[in-house]
């Protein structure tokens, strides 16, 4: 039984008098809380006392005005509310003292550690984690990588301090354990495009219908998929569809462009690194994309650009789906679906010893060939309508129509940049025109891209250098939109990336 003993004055000794009166009546107390004008008492469960008996005992004490029975002490009520809040959090939270003993654990922690919350109190946290006690009691808030109950987490640790006679000491800490899988889901949710589904693959042509049918079928098969097609055909969108429509649809989806990063950086992004693996590395280490994608899928875009060293490391990973972080000793196992994409002819690269044959067959279990836009010209009208509508929404103007001659122009162009080039061309057309109908002159494409070479011979230049610069500029303006990066353009022209970067900057050429 619990009672609220109220008084009209906060005087010295009133609580002592109340406790003395209860003791004289041989009433055993289980808990006492004191607040301004209130003394809360909880009688031992074996103690029998009625409200009337308590009033007869206590109302004779000076300044005691009222005694009422209550269901919970204020501390119990606060504890219940705090427990309700913590139980709503999906991440485990643990409060420990300076000896590492668990003071408080939420429902997620109890589920993780396989015990109820009451049983966890008093147990040492170090028996569940792979970190020493000192690392769990930092002097400043920090984040570390740890393994708890066989699972990998990023632990946000907030120290708790006490102050005694001006001296500050650590009395414990609060740990928030963020699951790498949940962290991957959050990253994936932020970067996920809601339109990345099967309906976003526009096309009624026969070749496109075959692709859609195979994509839908492959999404139900939990095997590696190799997507091949020219730059700009929508290979990454296809990878999203494979993931979203399969059994892993609610799990993380991670993507990385193997051509965009140097070998050492790509390795750390994929596999992560252990604390102190190299100079400049985070002290807490870093999880790689394979860990973050655990339970879901990972897209290795432009897999044909991966170095032979990383090809060998990826092959080893695909054999057991386990790896070690850079500089780490612990073997980490994950469950991910590998989707790879490339515009390169990997079979030819295998013959030329530029790509590992054993890796090729590991990746090419299921295969999707994405047609170039010129191979599905019947889809250009529907794609054009879609892109003009989206462009009009972005620039906040009514959606223009495309004239018959304009559509004929779109249909006759070769589209070396495929769907990405079509999208960019139509966006520029919509953004630069206020007319309700897009005519040929509104659409910035050249049906004869080599025509500038004829006119060049008829032009007069002040010097050989000026003519050379004019040729360089025209060449870069023609080729740059067809490649997704200056690095790929440099490979195409067999020059250094630095040379291309300097030339693009010199002539003010950018991808719009």
Question: 253-284 pLDDT, tens per residue?
Answer: 999 999 888 888 899 999 988 877 776 666 66
- What residues does CATH 1.10.8.60 cover in the chain? 373-406+418-442
Rounded mean pLDDT of 299-322? 94
Segment 143-166 mean pLDDT: 84
**What mean pLDDT, rounded, does the chain reach?**
85
* Model confidence at 431: pLDDT above 80: yes
Over residues 69-95, the mean pLDDT reads 84
Strand bridging mode 366-369 / 225-228: parallel
Mean pLDDT for 467-482 is 78
Closest CA to 195 of 248, 241, 251, 161: 241
- Given a contact cutoff of 8 angstroms between Cβ atoms, the answer to whether 169 and 157 are in contact is no
Contact predicate 241/215, CB 8 Å:
yes
pLDDT of residue 469: 79
Please, where in the chain does CATH 3.40.50.300 lie? Answer: 192-369
Residue 493 sits at φ, ψ, to 5 deg, of -95, 0
pLDDT of res. 186? 61
Name residues whose C-beta falls within 8 Å of residue 423's C-beta, 6 or more positions apart in sequence: 387
**Which fold is adopted by the domain 89-180?**
Beta-Lactamase (3.30.450)
Q: Which token pair is 479?
A: 């080729």
User: CB within 8 A of 463, min separation 6: which ones?
Assistant: none
287/61 Cα distance (integer angstroms): 65
Gap between the Cα atoms of 236 and 303, Å rounded:
12
Residues of the chain with CATH 3.30.450.20: 89-180
Q: Is the predicted pLDDT of residue 467 greater than 90, yes or no?
A: no
Two tokens, residue 168: 């500050």
Q: What are 331's strand-pairing partners? A: 324
Helix (H) or strand (E) holding 454: helix 451-458
Residue-level pLDDT at 453: 43
In degrees to the nearest 10, what's the CA dihedral of 492, 497, 498, 504? 50
Q: Is the pLDDT of residue 51 over 70?
A: yes
Q: How confident is the model at residue 481 (pLDDT cuts 50, 70, 90)?
A: confident
| pLDDT level of residue 187 (50, 70, 90 thresholds) | low
CA atoms within 13 A on the CB side of 436: 0
Residue 195 confidence (pLDDT): 46
pLDDT value at 184 more than 70: no
Report how far apart, in Å, the C-alpha atoms of 301 and of each of 235, 244, 412, 480, 501 are: 8, 17, 30, 20, 23
Query: The tokens 């990066």 sit on which residue?
Result: 485
Percentage of the residues of the chain whose pLDDT score is greater than 90: 38
What is this structure's pTM? 0.63
CA distances from 427 to 22, 394, 433 (A): 84, 9, 10
Axis-axis angle for helices 51-58, 14-24 (nearest 10): 120
pLDDT tens digit sequence for 384-421:
999 999 999 988 899 999 999 999 999 989 899 899 99
Identify the burial level of 470 via C-beta atoms within 10 angstroms of its C-beta, where 0-12 means exposed, 13-18 middle and 19 or more buried: middle
Q: In CATH terms, is domain 192-369 a member of 3.40.50.300? A: yes
- 73-77, 82-86, 225-229, range with the lowest pLDDT: 82-86
Residue 190: the pLDDT is: 53
3-state helix, strand, coil in the chain (%, to 5): 45, 20, 35
Q: Which strand (E) or helix (H) includes residue 471?
A: helix 464-479
Give the pLDDT confidence score for residue 191 in this predicted structure. Answer: 57
Count of beta carbons in the 10 Å neighbourhood of residue 444: 12
Where do you find CATH 3.30.70.260 in the chain? Answer: 2-74
pLDDT digits (tens, 9 = 90+) for 353-392: 999 999 999 999 999 999 999 999 999 999 999 999 999 9
Q: What is the pLDDT of residue 454?
A: 44
Q: What CATH number does the domain located at 373-406+418-442 have?
A: 1.10.8.60
What CA–CA distance (Å, rounded) separates 197 from 233?
16
Domain 2-74, CATH homologous superfamily name and number? ACT domain (3.30.70.260)
Q: How far is CA 346 from the centre of its chain?
A: 30
| Mean per-residue pLDDT, 150-161 | 86
Could you write out the three-class secondary structure of 416-448? Answer: CCHHHHHHHHHHHHHHHCCCCEECHHHCCCCCC
Q: What is the pLDDT of residue 400?
A: 94
**What percent of the chain is modeled with pLDDT above 70?**
91
- The token duo for 166 is 């001006």
Tokens encoding 287: 């999880």
DSSP code for 129: B
DSSP-derived letter for residue 460 is -
pLDDT in tens, 313-365: 999 999 999 999 888 888 889 999 999 999 999 999 999 899 999 999 999 99
Task: Say how far apart CA 66 and CA 55 lie, in whole Å.
Answer: 8
Contact 4, 42 (CB under 8 A): no
Structure tokens at 466: 């000026």
CB distance 493 to 483 below 8 Å: no
Question: Is it the case that residue 185 has pLDDT exceeding 80?
Answer: no
> In the prediction, which pLDDT does 327 show?
87
One-character DSSP codes across 224-287: -EEEE--TTS-HHHHHHHHHHTSTTTTS-EEEEETTSS-HHHHHHHHH-B-TTSSTT--TT-B-
From the CB of residue 230, how many other CB atoms can be counted at a distance below 10 Å?
Answer: 20
Reported as a pLDDT band with limits 50, 70 and 90, residue 457 is very low
Please list, in sequence order, all residues whose beta carbon lies within 8 angstroms of the beta carbon of residue 317, skipping any fewer than 6 positions away: 271, 290, 323
Q: Does 445 have pLDDT greater than 70?
A: yes
């Amino acid at each position: 039984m619990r009672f609220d003993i109220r008084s009209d004055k906060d005087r010295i000794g009133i609580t002592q008098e109340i406790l003395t009166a209860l003791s004289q009546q041989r009433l055993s107390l289980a808990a006492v809380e004191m607040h301004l004008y209130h003394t809360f008492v909880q009688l031992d469960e074996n103690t029998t006392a009625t409200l009337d008996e308590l009033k007869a005992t206590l109302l004779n004490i000076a300044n005691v005005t009222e005694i009422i029975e209550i269901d919970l002490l204020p501390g119990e009520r606060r504890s219940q509310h705090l427990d309700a809040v913590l139980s709503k959090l999906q991440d485990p939270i643990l409060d420990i003292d300076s000896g590492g003993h668990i003071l408080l654990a939420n429902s997620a922690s109890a589920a993780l550690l396989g015990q109820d919350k009451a049983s966890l109190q008093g147990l040492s946290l170090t028996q569940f984690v792979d970190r020493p006690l000192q690392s769990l009691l930092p002097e400043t808030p920090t984040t570390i990588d740890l393994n708890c109950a066989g699972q990998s987490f990023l632990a946000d640790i907030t120290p708790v301090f006490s102050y005694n006679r001006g001296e500050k000491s650590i009395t414990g800490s609060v740990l928030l354990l963020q699951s790498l899988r949940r962290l991957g889901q959050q990253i994936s949710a932020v970067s996920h495009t809601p339109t990345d589904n099967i309906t976003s693959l526009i096309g009624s042509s026969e070749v496109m219908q075959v692709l859609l049918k195979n994509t839908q079928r492959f999404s139900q098969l939990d095997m590696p998929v190799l997507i091949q097609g020219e730059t700009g055909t929508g290979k990454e969108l296809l990878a999203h569809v494979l993931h979203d429509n399969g059994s892993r649809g609610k799990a993380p989806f991670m993507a990385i462009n193997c051509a965009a990063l140097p070998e050492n950086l790509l390795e750390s992004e994929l596999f992560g690194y252990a604390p102190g693996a190299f100079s400049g590395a985070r002290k807490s280490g870093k999880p790689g994309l394979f860990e973050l994608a655990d339970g879901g899928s990972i897209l290795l875009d432009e897999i044909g650009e991966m170095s032979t060293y990383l090809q060998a490391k990826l092959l080893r990973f695909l054999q057991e789906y386990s790896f070690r972080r850079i500089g780490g000793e612990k073997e980490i196992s994950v469950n991910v679906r590998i989707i790879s994409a490339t515009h390169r002819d990997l079979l030819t690269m295998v013959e030329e010893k530029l790509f590992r044959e054993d890796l090729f067959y590991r990746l090419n279990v299921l295969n999707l060939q994405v047609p170039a836009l010129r191979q599905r010209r019947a889809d250009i009208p529907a794609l054009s309508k879609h892109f003009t509508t989206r462009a009009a929404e972005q620039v906040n103007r009514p959606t223009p129509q495309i004239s018959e001659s304009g559509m004929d122009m779109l249909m006759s162009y070769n589209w070396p940049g495929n769907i990405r080039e079509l999208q960019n061309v139509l966006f520029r057309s919509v953004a630069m025109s206020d007319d309700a109908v897009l005519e040929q002159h509104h659409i910035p494409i050249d049906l004869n891209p080599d025509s500038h070479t004829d006119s060049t011979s008829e032009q007069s230049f002040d010097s050989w250098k000026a003519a050379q610069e004019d040729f360089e500029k025209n060449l870069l303006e023609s080729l740059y939109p067809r490649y997704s990066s200056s690095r790929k353009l440099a490979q195409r022209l067999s020059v250094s990336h630095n040379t291309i970067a300097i030339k693009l900057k010199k002539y003010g050429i950018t991808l719009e």
